[in-house]
Structure 1
């Protein structure tokens, strides 16, 4: 995502019950989250990486743009963006997009870790694409890398780098942002990074095969909550009419960003109004989880909403593009607080938050690092007593 000049305003796994169910659905339908002290307490002074963390948490640098990743012979890509993790035997893989043009190395890369968390390799998994921003993992262990350009495409990639990436045009050609697979209902949800963007879902003809299927767009009134319906997009290719203008009454979302599905709910963010939304797939209804303009006391802790993920406890972790470069935590109890802050990198943005499969490590990137340039990206790991 490009640097914003104004303020803007969940991993598939066995902990779905903690993240969804009565507690979260009740919270999502109640008043949006309000500031409170987080479950880990306040932030400590900046550490040697320039990161402010709660007591008991530590950080390390995993990779720097243009520098060889330790334990490999691979130079990390520029402008690291959306990311996800994949179990790999007793270790795991973290994949990360590169939000630069094809001629500058656009695509995606991966870092492999062993069971102790040591880096054992790094490599390219997608090349020759443009402004790969966010995306999402699938239940069949592929990474959907999305192009944030007009008539951008979704590419299905192999985190292990063995199989060639495949473009998935049936998922629509538009300014893609993120994707979230819903194995419970057989959809992949998609956000669109336009000021008058839409929220889509794609139903594959066969679950697990994204080569063909039906693209639909959410239709609703101007309200921020309530029942919604879906209508098929007549021409997913987006020519001559772009997908967001093809269906009358499609609900407008101001700058769609991250999205994440678990336990019947898809959470997604919109940067233009600093909102975090919840779509209840079973009830086909929409509600607000967070809106900075509805914070009733003090200063809104979360602005510039962007990528989103969750922990095993059901907490949402929302990265900031802008604001004061924090990852903020929204609990199922409807509280919001800073979890970490990156200092000395005011011309950057926070991207790609994702937990290791065991939930003990959080990965994320500062897209432009201390230099403010795409070539200055830094990818980090945070380790600590994340609540289970």
Structure 2
């Protein structure tokens, strides 16, 4: 190519030869966002659905366009799409765009300019059905052309039939999304198949029961799916979400806390965002507004009640030395368990009974607890254990009729 430009040719020939030589490179260009995995393959980068859909979805929540619905066809996995159906996504939009508690909405706001937005405002509890009907009647009187009149009449008909599916009570947006995500993992082994046909309008409740993760890996997968949903819907940007997760979750894990504490702390921060009466808290500012110690204490208490190891008491405040109230934690990661334990301790080791390496160690690497079974039994007094020389997770040999799920009182 360099020799071509040195040859005694006209400038037109040189430019034509240069363009012709680079046609192969132009044809080989792929979309930098989807890598041409979304058809049509020849679409320009600015028209990639991964970009346009995310921008449009974010604008729905930013501008509170209640009559619109986010598009997630190219963003969610099949498992997530099964949980976040179109009605569920519409309900999320209605919940996220709701006005501040106790304030009357302004129907002159751009959020409610469309007639179907007024109907959705009534369905999702932004206003009463009487208010929505009155607003539509006023707009019908002021309508100057037939297409506008037909739209408003259609909205009024929809309003009459939508009263049965109105949302009377609702929880927060982020907590609802987290609960839905938790069901993705818990229902993977559920082989129930359902086919529903559209029928008579009836009250619909988009509920989700929170299923806490059983393992740390499940917790991290839930975080991954949660981030994917939040970004795909347009509730927040990727950088903001990941910084929030780093502060709340991984910051807690770096403090050597149990992953259950990180899970409960995440729920508490999502609660702070969802139930903020002024609607000023979001993922970018909720962590740095203060109150970390208070929420951490509450998270530890919640984790102690929700994450119990083999029925034993979760010791979130550190292990206790036998005969002392002094607590100790294995704050030195270079100390490894040597398999020994304190046989004089009256408390069985929760890690030993769960089949995990001991984490509450002395300076020599021995466990501060006794490696005995922590199965609760009924014939050894209050807080009585089996205390046999075996781990509970391998199978307790105590009499089955004397085993208890909770300590005897």
TM superposition score normalised by structure 1: 0.24
Larger Rg: 2
Structure with more strand by fraction: 1
Structure with more helix by fraction: 2
